[in-house]
Amino acid sequence: MSLQKLNNDFNVHRSIDCLNLNILKENTNSPPVINKNNRFTKNLLKRRSSNLIADLASIGNHENFYTYELIQQIAQYLLDRTNIRPKIGIICGSGLGNLADVITDSVSFPYHEIPHFPVSTVAGHVGRLVFGYLDGVPIMCMQGRFHYYEGYPLWKCSMPVRVMKLVGVSHLIVTNAAGGLNPKYRAGDIMIMKDHINFLGFAGNNPLQGVNDERFGPRFPAMNRAYNASLRKAAHKIAKEMGIDKFVREGVYAVLGGPNFETIAELRMLRVCGVDAVGMSTVHEVLTAQHCDMKVFAFSLITNKCVMDYESMAEANHEENIDTGLMREGVIKKLVTKVVGHISNHDLAMSSKNP
């Protein structure tokens, strides 16, 4: 049977069984079922080998899944085109892409030129990978991220994090624009992420679903220390030194699927759940980074106060979010540069002493 035919007949769906096998559904219109009598599934169960991952990945002609080897190829494509060897990765949120302006000696790769890469479709996300230096420290930066609401599955949205890992990145700095739910928050505040609530995950949608390749990380990764405590502490110290501590907070981010902004009832529910800021990104990247053992520092720029009462005529909008990003551009560039400097002088310096 040709791969094309397989691709038409069977849609690789999601892994939920303890054998780490993907579940196949015979027809895209029917609900996913584990039919162990299905001829194709039977064959897969019989061949429970390391080839399985490659087999499953190839079914979609790389449309359905990124194997370790494919991500290696993407990483190699980049490494072949620059001598910069970053240990720190940065993801720019909506309206925060100007961060890339302060990168020196940069080499840029538009997403559409990188093999197997998705493309950015959202205003405020330029859509390129930038390699270069921040204050002399080699970094790589996603100037534009991928969101679930753009129509990409989460494993595709967070694939660049695995590329970073295979390029050699050990520390990830993630930024986003988010709505402020905590009544003390104001537009323009910066919220260091202490934790998250993954509402997409509650609904059974997670970038780590599917065949797990142990070369990236374990089947069941812990998430209780996802946001590195010493980097959070360092960022607060840096904020104090910069004199911006009065608007730097620490809190819990919740991700929803978007693209619509939230209803008042939804926002009130989130607040009861202990959420300080809400957005439509970041969590899939953090899960993927944590899975492959990266250290993560993340923050939200609070671009708007969430509208929590029915009398208000205010409405959330993307343009305002981008404008708030521009307003805080200078501060964010400085903060990220200093956090990069801290990581380089502390974590990376230590790890090169104790390899």
Ligand X SMILES: O=P(O)(O)O[C@H]1O[C@H](CO)[C@@H](O)[C@H]1O
CB of 315 to ligand HPA, least distance (A): 10
Applying the rule CB under 6 A, the residues between 211 and 230 that interact with ligand X are none
**CA atoms of 150 and 153, how far apart (whole Å):** 9
Compute the residue count for the chain.
Answer: 355
Q: What are the C-alpha distances in Å from 59 to residues 54, 64, 207?
A: 9, 8, 19
Query: Does the protein bind ligand X through residue 127 (CB under 6 A)?
Result: no
Active site residues: 94, 125, 147, 149-150, 177, 280-281, 304, 318
Nearer to ligand X, 145 or 171 (CB): 145
Eight-class DSSP state of 198: E
Contact with ligand HPA (CB under 6 A) among 41, 304, 337, 344: 304
Helices 159-167 & 68-79 angle (0-180, nearest 10): 60
The stretch among 25-33, 38-46, 202-210, 302-310 that binds ligand HPA (CB under 6 A) is 302-310
> Do the beta carbons of residue 225 and residue 293 sit within 8 Å?
no
Residue type, 175: T
147 binds, among ligand HPA, ligand X, none (CB under 5 to 8 A by kind): ligand X
Say whether residue 179 binds ligand HPA (CB under 6 A): yes
**What's 194-246 look like in SS3?**
EEEEEHHHHCCCCCCCCCCCCCCCCCCCCCCCCCCHHHHHHHHHHHHHHCCHH
**Binding window for ligand HPA (CB under 6 A); candidates: 8-16, 173-181, 192-200, 241-249:** 173-181
Look-up: residue for tokens 């002088």?
345
Per rule CB under 6 A, is residue 145 in the interface with ligand X? yes
Binding at 82: pick from ligand X, ligand HPA, none (beta carbon under 5-8 Å per type): none
DSSP type of residue 28? T
> Candidates 106-114, 163-171, 284-292, 299-307 — which segment interacts with ligand HPA by CB under 6 A?
299-307
Q: Which stretch binds ligand HPA (CB under 6 A): 45-53, 110-118, 174-182, 235-243?
A: 174-182
Check: CB of residue 322 under 8 Å from CB of residue 123: yes
SS3 content of the chain, % helix, strand, coil (to 5): 40, 20, 40
Binding residue for ligand HPA, selected from 226, 278, 294, 298, defined by CB under 6 A: 278
For residue 187, the minimal CB distance to ligand HPA (Å) is 9
Q: β-pairing, 171-180 with 104-110?
A: unpaired
CB of 89 within 8 A of CB of 141? yes
Q: How far is the CB of 336 from ligand HPA (least distance, A)?
A: 19
318 touching ligand X, by CB under 6 A: yes
Q: What residue type is assigned to position 306 of the chain? A: C
Nearer to ligand X, 23 or 92 (CB): 92
Six-digit token pair at 196?
A: 């998250």
Cβ(95)–Cβ(177) under 8 Å? yes
The answer to whether 199 touches 172, Cβ cutoff 8 Å, is no
Residue 93 touches which member of ligand HPA, ligand X, none, C-beta under 5-8 Å by kind? ligand X
Coil, strand, or helix at residue 303? strand
CB of 32 to ligand X, least distance (A): 28
Contacts with ligand HPA by CB under 6 A lie at 177-179, 261-262, 278-280, 303-304, 306, 316, 321
Q: Which positions touch ligand X (CB under 6 A)? A: 93-94, 122, 145, 147, 176-177, 258, 279-282, 318, 321
